[in-house]
Structures are given as structure tokens and as C-alpha cells.
A and B are shown apart, each in its own frame.
Chain A
């Protein structure tokens, strides 16, 4: 047997074994149904609520939040990254704050934003943009800084104009790192939008999970958790696929 097929078979066995294990312990009554729901019921409930259309407005809301905050972060973050690459001294001055802010729990700004903006989308967007912009800025600046000396020199021998130099030489050379930053920024936007909805919102997938937790609808709760996991995994897969393609083209 080929190794790749072997890997695939084992992977499917692990996942289905895990689901089967959950199914068995819940069906056999080792775990109370209020604590854990059998996976088959999770899928069934999820399917039913997708069909009934109850989910659609929440899904649309979450998706638009994610897309809006990511595109804002990319549109502001990439020019800022270019600016910091052009002026390394200013970058060095700000570096302490960026490096510190990068791994800092930005989500704890949320009570502050709640006080300032009140309930609604504003706190969610501010936190999601503020967090996902950091890797985009840092990776854009780092990517442009670490372009190999040879490439701009080649550009010089072809007498490139500054604009050509940037768009035809430096930017493509920095693309893999910039894309890695965008990917991380997107993942942050997804995570923070859903997390913030969980903490404080009146609509959205994260809100649905917290709402059904507090009303003890365990069936629906697990169905929505499952949905969020599926969405996150799918997005991750797509981004990895695009990243592979970006790497291949260079």
C-alpha cells in the first residue's frame, strides 16, 4: 500500500473512532445527555436549524463582521507596514509597543469598549481590527526588510522606476511573509469576532453558543459549537491551500 493512502486511512480511522467513542459513551448512558450529546444528534440538529433558516441571519452577521474587520485590517495594515519599512527609525521607536501589543490579551479591552460604545457591533469590530492588524503590519514590514539584496540590484540594472521597483521587485519578493501575516490576521479576525460575540452581542454565531448555554439547550448548543468548528477548520484549510499556491508560484 502507498504511504499516502495509509496516512489517509489512519486519519479517517482516528476521526471516526473519536466520533464513535463519543456516540457510544453517550448512548450507553455513561455521560448524562445534559452534559454531552451524541454526535449523530449534533449533526441532525445542526442540519435541521440550517434548513429552518433560523441560522441564516446570525451566520450572515458573523461572516460580514469577519470580512469587514479583516479587509479593514489589511487596508490599513499593509500601508502601515510599508511606512514602517521605509522609515526604520520610526519602526524602532514603535517596536516595543508593537511587540508588546502583539502577544497581549487585547480582548481585555472589551469592558473598556463596552463602556465607551455600548452593546453592538462596534466593540467587536474595534477589537477584531486592532488584533488582526498587528501581524499584518509586522509581517509586511519584516517581509520587505528581508528581501534579498540581489533582487533590487537586478531591478536597478533594468533601470526600474521607483514604482516598478516596488510593485515588480520588492513586493513579489516579500509576498510569502506578507501572506503569512494576512493569514494570521484572518485567523485572528475569525477568532476574535466569534469570541467577542460570545462575550457580548445580540446576534451572531458566538452569541448563539452563549445564549443556548445559558438556556441549557444542550442539543442546540453542541450543534452550534460543531458549526463553528467546521467553519474555522474550513477557513483554515482554504488559507493553507492559497498559501501553498503563493509559495509555489515564487
Chain B
């Protein structure tokens, strides 16, 4: 068992090294910056400080997007989960809207809200809210009716029902929803920054592409991937732990 784990870890590390070597070989051509130059360009962002205002803007918008999506997504999800009638009415519509490529809606938000944080938050939220809503809704739909009966027999009020019965019962689909909302929210915000912002990581990626500062562009994309990687892996850990509990 332990030996298998060591083999797997070594294998995973080797694949990582292989990917790095592929990048290194690809950077012989002039369209790909070397890994070292990319990291150096990214590092200069922190030492010279040009990255901080953009990082601050992007992180603030992502955080606000996430909070708003949480409130709307879980709120609507709980309502639709509890009421079978409303769910029957809206479920099909929600699944359909979820499948629409949200980027084509960006012009609408741009004309409605102009350039700025509001637009970015709306763009991020429309990406992030659906997985949360759908997972909360189906989680409550599929949960065992016994839990609800137990809560009712203890005379729990609706807030207690939510806190003590519904949320713990659906914690597994909820964490999956939170994970998806986070990665989709990041995509939504960064894509939005390309069109609807004067600052932010997405904006400087496009700017360095336009100026052909490739090392900076690759460095920033690397930063973005590391950010998504860390968040995704920690959510997956949480998911796995919850799976063991249930």
C-alpha cells in the first residue's frame, strides 16, 4: 500500500517535470517565453509593484462575486428545493440558461452598467450562481425525507431547519457547487476584465499580449493557473473528506 503511494507520487512528479520540459522545448521558438523568463517577469511585478493594484482589483471583484453568488444561489436553491411546484416550473429554465455561453451576454451588461466593478461583478455572478443554485436545489430534492421529519418533530423553526437539517444534509453537493462556482466565477471575472475594465489581471494579460511582452503574459497566465489550482485542490480535499463522513 505504502509502496504504491510512493510510486504514484514519484510518477506524478515525473509528469510535472515532463510538462516543464515540454514548455522548455517549446520556448525555443520565439512565440513562447521560457519558464524562467516568465517567472522572472511575474516576480518583477511583485518587487516593482506594478501588479498590486491589478491584483487588488481582481481579488476584490472575485470575492464580491463569490459572496453575491452565495447569497443568491443558495437562497434561490433552498426555495426551489423546498417547494416542488416552483421547482417544476423553474428547473427546466434554469438548466437551459446554464447551458448558454454567458460571454454573449457581456454586451448587454456592458451597455447596461458601463465599464466598472458593477459590470464585472454581474459578469462573474452570472457564471458562478448557477452551479450553486442547481446543486443546492437537487441536493435538497434528493435528501432523505426522514431528516425533515426529525426536524419537524423537534419543532424547529425555519431558520433552525435550514441551519441544522438542510445545510448539513446537502453539504456534499454544496461543496461541489462551491468549487464550481469559484472556478467559474474566476473565469467570468477575468473574461469580463478583458472588455469591461481598466485594471485587473485579465486586462494586463491582454495588454501584454498586445504589446508582445510575452514573458509577462505567460507569467500572469501561470499565476492565474496556480491560483485556480490551489483553490480547486483544497475544495477537492474537502469534498473527499465529506465523502468519507457520509
A: residues with CB less than 8 A from B are 3, 6-7, 10-11, 14-15, 34-36, 89-90, 92-97, 99-100, 102-105, 107-109, 111-112, 114-116, 187, 190-192, 194-195, 198-199, 206, 209-210, 213, 218, 221-222, 224-225, 228-229, 232-233, 235-237, 240
Question: Which residues on B sit within 8 Å (CB–CB) of A97?
Answer: 12, 15-16, 19
Given known A-B contacts A99-B236, A105-B228, A107-B187, A225 and B107 have beta carbons under 8 A apart: yes
CB-CB < 8 A to A90: which residues of B?
Answer: 11
Q: Does B21 contact A (CB under 8 A)?
A: no
Distance of A95 Cα from B90 Cα, bound (Å): 36
What total of chain B residues lie within 8 Å of the partner, measured CB to CB?
A: 54
Q: Which of B45-97 contact A (CB under 8 A)?
A: 85, 88-90, 92-93, 95-97
- Closest CB of chain A to B225's CB: distance in Å? 6
- Taking a contact as CB atoms under 8 Å apart, the answer to whether B88 and A7 are in contact is yes
Is B121 an interface residue, CB under 8 A from the partner? no
A218's contact among B96, B99, B111, by CB below 8 Å, is which? B111
The answer to whether A206 and B104 have CB atoms under 8 Å apart is yes
- 21 contacts across the A-B interface (CB closer than 8 A): A11-B92, A11-B93, A14-B89, A36-B108, A89-B7, A89-B11, A93-B8, A99-B236, A103-B180, A104-B228, A111-B206, A114-B209, A116-B31, A198-B103, A206-B104, A221-B107, A225-B104, A225-B107, A229-B104, A232-B96, A237-B96
A115-B214, A116-B32 as given contacts; A34 in contact with B111, CB under 8 Å: yes
How distant is the Cα of A89 from the Cα of B9 in the complex, in angstroms? 10
Partner of A111, one of B11, B191, B217: B217
User: How many Å lie between the Cα of A194 and that of B194 in the bound state?
Assistant: 16
* 5 further interface pairs, Cβ-Cβ under 8 Å (given A97-B15, A97-B16): A108-B224, A192-B101, A195-B101, A206-B101, A240-B95
Q: Which 10 residue pairs across A and B have the least CB separation, nearest first?
A: A93-B11, A103-B183, A213-B107, A236-B99, A191-B101, A233-B96, A232-B100, A194-B101, A195-B103, A7-B88
Picked from A3, A7, A112, A187, the residue with its CB within 8 Å of the CB of B99 is A187
Chain A residue nearest to B233 (CB atoms) is A100
Residue from the list A14, A96, A102, A111 in contact with B221, Cβ < 8 A: A111
Among B4, B101, B218, point to the contact of A190 (Cβ < 8 A): B101
Nearest to A95 among chain B residues (CB) is: B12
Q: Cβ of B8: which chain A residues have Cβ within 8 Å of it?
A: 89, 92-93
Whether B15 and A233, one on each chain, are in contact in the complex, defined by CB atoms closer than 8 angstroms, is: no
Chain B residues near A218: list those with CB within 8 A: 111
A206 touches B103 (CB 8 A): yes
Which residues of chain B are near A36, meaning CB under 8 Å? 108, 111-112
Inter-subunit contact B103/A194 (CB<8 Å): yes
Give B227 Cβ to nearest chain A Cβ, in Å.
10
A162, chain B: closest CB distance, angstroms: 25
Contacts of A225 in B (CB 8 A): 104-105, 107-108
- Inter-subunit contact B89/A236 (CB<8 Å): no
Whether the Cβ atoms of A198 and B104 lie closer than 8 Å is: yes
Indicate whether A228 sits within 8 Å of B104 (C-beta atoms), given known contacts A93-B11, A99-B233, A112-B218.
yes
